[in-house]
Structure 1
Amino acid sequence: MIKPILIICGEPNSIFSEIIVKAFNKYNNKNPIVLIGSYDLIMEQFKILKSSTKLNLVFFKKNFFMNIKKNKINILNINYKFIKPFENISSKSNYYITNCFEKVFEIIKKYKIKGLINGPISKKFFLGNKYYGVTEYLSKKFKVSNKYSMLIYNKSLSVSPITTHLPIDKVSNQLKKDMIISKVLIINDFYKKKLFKKPKIAVTGLNPHCENFFKLSEEKRLIEPAIRNLKKKKVNIKGPFPADTIFLKQNMKNFDVIIGMYHDQVLAPIKTIYGFNAINITLGLPFIRVSPDHGPNFKMIGKNKSDPQSLIESLRFLDKIK
């Protein structure tokens, strides 16, 4: 049976329809693709973008996969009422986006998929104060709590923050030795099982230069014991390294993955180095979730200037893995 890639269209007022068209024009996917979103809205947006791309409408029923065509953009319609194709981003999109996610959850419970890509959403309006990000939203929905990892993947170098979308003043209290061990093991297992590679992993400290500013710093109390434990489990891991030098070319070339303690500690460098050639992967779910590394970007809507590379990299990655 075929295993399609599902793509949630995400925020209806975003650059994603433009990126979908550009990605399909540039990349010949190996696996069939199904968009989850509003057929009418996407078609109207295609008209504005002067795209002649056709959509193959599919329905979620007994023979769902039989209607999917490999060389077309398939779409499972989710109703969405709109006045004009592109409006201001607001909370009125929430019901539609929730329905898109719920339909995907329904499909995943019934069928095996190659992976899930979610288009950009507004964290402010869709997630509000309930979740810090889509990573946390999905982990809660699938009840994996802290047994997940956020990996920003590039074939040359990937990074992962132990704490994800967390305010900086909460990081120290949230860090736990077991959390570090669990998340590193998930990443190590993913590399071995899906990429057939035993990764070389570096771990940063939390404090500047890994210095001890008090008797038992996070490095001494949490990070170093976690690394010792992981070495006993035969993980190829080293650290802690100062975060301000680990991304120097002569240092990062020695590793496949750099683990940081908080979001911007590792995401700022990786995005500076690789730009849109990196993708966001959530590991530890019952499926692989990938997200292009950009937001809705309302200011760029309809200008035909948006870069599809991150979506292309997402598709290429899912096509590659077993």
Structure 2
Amino acid sequence: DNAIVNANKLVEMTPVWQKRFLTWGILIAVFGMRIIFPLAIVAIFAWINPFAAMHLALSDPDQYSHIIEDAHGPISAFGGTFLMMVALKFFVDEDKSVDWFGGLERNLRKLGSIRGFEIVIVLCMIIGICQFLPETKHASFLMSALFGLLVFMLVDGLGSYLDGMAGSTSSLGARGGLGAFLYLEVLDASFSFDGVIGAFALTTNILLIAIGLGIGAMYVRSMTIMLVERGTLAEFRYLEHGAFYSIFALSVIMFLQSLFHVPELITGGIGFSLIGYAFYRSIQHNKNEAAVKAAAGI
């Protein structure tokens, strides 16, 4: 789902920015999200400086991982909010011309004409989850969730602003590409939260975690480029829809993880099933379309 959604945005970017997504982007993904981000979380929640957090990671990895796991609630609130906004933004887009589940998606597009509709849905979700949290966790959950909403609005707004400027300047590729690049980096961060935390269940060695998650980040980016170059999203018309349904499901799960543990098998299984079914339905559509053209002698 990460690669498919990335490809949806990357296809709008110039080859120069696509290359930067693989070079600059991978540095940000590996060193920023897989190393610096966990250290920053530990520094904030343990009230220590980043160097002390690094020393803790190397000298007492068990305590380090314990602090990371304690921060899971606020992290899930940020990631769940951002990803839910990403998914809803796709479904309420008035310019979306292809529907997978026609009735549902057409109604969402109509509701999307109401300004701020997707924000209201996300805020209702945040308030609903808060009702089941202990009062001591309300503040951290709300602040993290609202920060996720703010970051989405800033990145999405910046992208629209830069794209608008690109239309009236000669630096179209650089300006439009920058907005999309920033959007993709924050999107990657939201996707990576669970991986960063879940990795501590396998090992407490921060270097192994960084290497393993870094390989995964590089694979996702390479797969994204492949999807763009081969035009896969255009060939399989419902694949993109499956990815966004998967992201919406993931965002709901991230919210629920603030209340209780959701096994990774369920999270991965839902995403795999939705994208797999979308792929199957896309193949069926292509076969039916080919049969109609053959019957018409086209």
* TM bucket normalised to smaller: under 0.3
TM-score (norm 1): 0.24
Higher relative strand content = 1
Which has the larger helix fraction?
A: 2
- TM-score under structure 2 normalisation? 0.26
Larger RCO (CA under 8 A, 6+ residues apart): 2
